Homo-oligomer: A and B are copies of this chain.
Amino acid sequence: MAIVGRDHLITDDSALKRYGRATYAVEHPVLAAVQPGNTEQVQQCLRLAQEQQVPVYPISTGLNTGYGSAVPCAPDCLLLDLSRMRAISDYDAELACVWVEPGVTQQQLYDFLQEQGDGLWMDCTGSYPEHSLIGNIMERGFGHTFMADHYAQVGGFEVVLPTGDCIETGAGQFAGARARGYYRWGVGPHIDGLFTQGNFGVVTRACIWLHPAPPYTLNFACAVNRDDDLEALVDCLRPLRLDGTIPSAMHIGNDYKVLTSILRYPHDRAGGKGPLPEALRDEMIANWEFGAWNVSGALYGTRASVRESKQRLKAALKPLKGRVRFVDEGLLRFAQRISRPYAALTGKNLEEMLKLARPVFGMTQGRPSRDVIASTYWRKREAAPADPNPERDRCGLIWVSPVFPTRGAEARAVWDTVRETLLEFGFEPSVSITMITGRASDCVVSIAYDRDQAGEDEAALACRDALLTRLAGQGYYPYRLGAGGMGLLANQRDSNRRLLADLKRSLDPAGILAPGRYEPGE
């Protein structure tokens, strides 16, 4: 308490409850929460924790939704809530980077960059604007632009080790090094990766690389009607992703994914029990112009170079006979202006379509959007409130995210397993495939439900575990795991597990920091 002051030590039950709830059944009572205001206080907290042998669980803003939110991976931890550490510093417009603390949100950095007015872009995820940038880097998350792979855009970390020692990585390992943050590798072993997806240290500052805004951005969207087209779609887009024609992480959502994003589950017509009957799904889809698989991505460059990329993209997609649409800033503005007369003339709701297009377009330029939160309420009986909060409102959401080589046949294998498993457990198989690179793609599966419905919590967890096990049996492992679901790490080679255990023991002999996090014995 002397470390952070009375206001920043939280011990009363109702306040602590806020930290202890996720969007699925994972609950670990929290001893207390402490909110340090700076790195030194984080060091002091860890030193005290070592002295007192109290386990500590760090969170940034705690919005790890679908993967456990703020819930620790073990009971009776002291929660180290870093959300007060909101400093943005060492902004360098010339070399395009900036340092942030764990409490800095996507929206905060976006607003900061807008204010600076230097035309620099960041990348954002499709998650909340209040999402911590560092939190996402720690999970090696991804977004929508050519900087989509967030951990790859890090110039260096400041890290508090379990002992309370503070280090800097990369060039910053030397005090006063001028290349700090600009040169990622430093000299000697490169240790940054150790502090992602694990419990080896608390990152208290990160250098994020930005990028000059390209002169022109053209979004594209393509839909194919048949589920069977998935293989061909992946195989014809891969070469363009691999050769750089499509520099953005491309997303391919299925019909369920789009449906759950824009509509609500028709409880009255669905017979009271999931999954959504196919006939009903088809009826719901019919009113919208999307297909079995829906690609969205962006091309960047000068108008002339984008025009060339556009031609290559159209040529590649031609055999699929899919609808390809292109949207840029100018078209969006135009559509906005004509939406009323357009509706009057055609009866089509352009306004509604614009509501979908705008946030997607924004995200391919690094602009965070709140629109995605609403989809978490898909299965809820009540309408989403004006201030949505899925954890508070007992929305059910578990994300499972297997990685596969970017090949049509592998996409098919993953999708078949996902579809069968989710339907079997009574959930809509809503997926979004991201071509992180031309070599590896990630299939983010949403298990969405209503925690207030008896039995659904249990079914969802059973579904997650079955899905992880089945996919692993086929060789598909996730890029990320959630609280209460780390068990899959027991599948690691014995030698890898021994190595990680040895490293952990050397950095944190008593296992004080985030016990269970990315550990097979969680």
Q: Which residue of B lies closest to A152 (CB)?
A: B152
Smallest CB separation, A485 vs chain B (Å): 11
Q: Which residue of B lies closest to A164 (CB)?
A: B495
With A491-B174, A498-B165, A499-B161 as given contacts, are A189 and B182 in contact (CB-CB < 8 Å)? no
A183–B97 contact, CB under 8 A?
no
Is A505's beta carbon under 8 Å from chain B?
Answer: yes
| Residues in B neighbouring A474, C-beta threshold 8 A | 178
Q: Which residue of B lies closest to A165 (CB)?
A: B495
Smallest CB separation, A519 vs chain B (Å): 9
A187–B440 contact, CB under 8 A?
no
Smallest CB separation, A213 vs chain B (Å): 9
A197–B193 contact, CB under 8 A?
no
| Residues in B neighbouring A243, C-beta threshold 8 A | 211-212, 214
With a 10 A CB-CB cut-off, give which of A94, A212, A301, A507 has the most chain B CB atoms. A94
| Residues in B neighbouring A209, C-beta threshold 8 A | 439
| Residues in B neighbouring A476, C-beta threshold 8 A | 177-179
Is A190's beta carbon under 8 Å from chain B?
Answer: yes
Q: Mark A196-223, 1 if CB is under 8 A from B, else 0.
A: 1110100000000101101000000000
Q: Mark A353-380, 1 if CB is under 8 A from B, else 0.
A: 0000000000000000000000000000
Is A270's beta carbon under 8 Å from chain B?
Answer: no
Residues from 300 to 327 in A contacting B, C-beta threshold 8 Å: 301-302, 304-305, 308
Bound-state CA distance A211–B437 (Å) is 12
A191–B188 contact, CB under 8 A?
no
6 additional A-B pairs beyond A161-B495, A189-B195, A190-B194, beta carbons within 8 Å, are A165-B498, A178-B476, A183-B439, A185-B193, A189-B196, A190-B196
Is A227's beta carbon under 8 Å from chain B?
Answer: no
A187–B95 contact, CB under 8 A?
no
Which of A54-62, A104-112, A404-412 lies at the binding interface? A404-412
Q: Mark A233-272, 1 if CB is under 8 A from B, else 0.
A: 0000011001100000000000000000000000000000
| Residues in B neighbouring A406, C-beta threshold 8 A | 95, 182
Smallest CB separation, A67 vs chain B (Å): 12
A188–B198 contact, CB under 8 A?
yes
Is A175's beta carbon under 8 Å from chain B?
Answer: yes
B242–A175 contact, CB under 8 A?
no
Is A456's beta carbon under 8 Å from chain B?
Answer: no
Smallest CB separation, A514 vs chain B (Å): 12
| Residues in B neighbouring A502, C-beta threshold 8 A | 506-507
Bound-state CA distance A479–B488 (Å) is 37
Residues from 461 to 490 in A contacting B, C-beta threshold 8 Å: 472, 474-481, 488-489
Residues from 147 to 188 in A contacting B, C-beta threshold 8 Å: 151, 155, 161, 165-168, 171, 173-179, 182-188
Copies of the chain in the assembly: 2
Smallest CB separation, A65 vs chain B (Å): 19
Is A140's beta carbon under 8 Å from chain B?
Answer: yes
With A183-B440, A243-B212, A439-B182 as given contacts, are A95 and B405 in contact (CB-CB < 8 Å)? yes
| Residues in B neighbouring A196, C-beta threshold 8 A | 185, 189-190
Bound-state CA distance A196–B188 (Å) is 7
B174–A472 contact, CB under 8 A?
yes
Q: Which residue of B lies closest to A193 (CB)?
A: B190
Bound-state CA distance A247–B499 (Å) is 38
| Residues in B neighbouring A436, C-beta threshold 8 A | 183
| Residues in B neighbouring A151, C-beta threshold 8 A | 185, 190
| 10 tightest Cβ-Cβ pairs between the two chains A and B | A190-B193, A506-B506, A189-B198, A183-B440, A178-B475, A182-B439, A165-B495, A305-B305, A182-B440, A212-B243
Is A500's beta carbon under 8 Å from chain B?
Answer: yes
Q: Mark A435-458, 1 if CB is under 8 A from B, else 0.
A: 011111000000000000000000
A182–B405 contact, CB under 8 A?
yes
B493–A179 contact, CB under 8 A?
no
Q: Mark A292-305, 1 if CB is under 8 A from B, else 0.
A: 00000000011011
Residue pairs across A and B with Cβ atoms less than 8 A apart, 7 shown, are A95-B406, A96-B439, A151-B185, A177-B476, A177-B477, A185-B193, A190-B192
Q: Mark A381-415, 1 if CB is under 8 A from B, else 0.
A: 00000000000000000000001111100100000
